[in-house]
């Protein structure tokens, strides 16, 4: 009897995180409540508290899952693409795909709320950007070594520029749901480092 119950709890917890993810990406972490999730899932807030006793714990589970999924996406890029330029293009498509679903980057929107987040979530947001910057630095370094990419500042500075530009491009494109505006910025960004 205990095993099926755990499976049901796990599915319910995943559904809770799915709804919380969408709400964070469309409203922000501070602009939804357990009641919003409970209403959408047609469960009680007590059930939510059973799985995630506090919103901070839900936020930690959400950021952990997001970091894991994003790391897996980067792993897929590494596994299936050898060319640094292709990797950078695939990286920009990760952001484009989020915007296409009329959402914002999870950690980008959390960064906007940084001062009001629980401490574990703050740490998760910082880690997310650090890990992505490291990945970008590795790709840029590879591209500089094989001469497929060319840039003047350090790989660290360019990685920061890429992250900042993509996050900003999402913000500017979001009100009009203008993917063309985002894509034009992403293409200019990639052109600036292409040999």
pLDDT score at 7:
41
CATH at residue 115: 1.10.357.10
Is residue 73 one of the residues assigned to a domain? yes
Is residue 10 one of the residues assigned to a domain? no
Is residue 41 one of the residues assigned to a domain? no
Is residue 158 one of the residues assigned to a domain? yes
Long-range contacts of 9-15 (CB under 8 A, 24+ apart): 9/50, 9/51, 12/41, 12/43, 12/47, 12/51, 13/51, 13/52, 13/61, 15/41
Which residues form the domain of 118?
57-191
The domain tally of the chain equals: 1
What parts of the chain have a pLDDT lower than 70? Answer: 1-9, 195
Q: Which residue has the tokens 């990760």?
A: 94
Record the pTM: 0.90
């Amino acid at each position: 009897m205990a095993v099926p119950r755990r499976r049901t709890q796990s599915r319910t917890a995943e559904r809770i995180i799915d709804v919380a993810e969408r709400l964070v990406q469309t409203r922000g972490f501070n602009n939804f409540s357990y009641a919003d999730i409970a209403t959408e899932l047609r469960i009680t807030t007590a059930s939510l508290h059973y799985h995630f006793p506090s919103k901070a714990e839900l936020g930690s589970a959400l950021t952990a899952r997001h970091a894991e999924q994003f790391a897996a996406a980067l792993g897929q890029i590494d596994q299936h693409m050898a060319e640094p330029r292709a990797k950078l293009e695939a990286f920009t498509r990760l952001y484009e795909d989020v915007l296409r679903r009329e959402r914002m980057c999870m950690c980008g929107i959390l960064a906007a709320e940084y001062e009001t987040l629980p401490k574990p979530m703050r740490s998760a947001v910082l880690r997310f950007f650090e890990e992505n910057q490291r990945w970008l630095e590795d790709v840029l370094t590879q591209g500089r070594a094989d001469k497929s990419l060319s840039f003047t500042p350090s790989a660290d500075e360019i990685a920061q520029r890429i992250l900042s530009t993509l996050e900003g491009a999402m913000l500017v494109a979001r009100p009009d749901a203008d993917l063309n505006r985002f894509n034009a910025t992403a293409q200019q960004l990639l052109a600036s480092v292409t040999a």
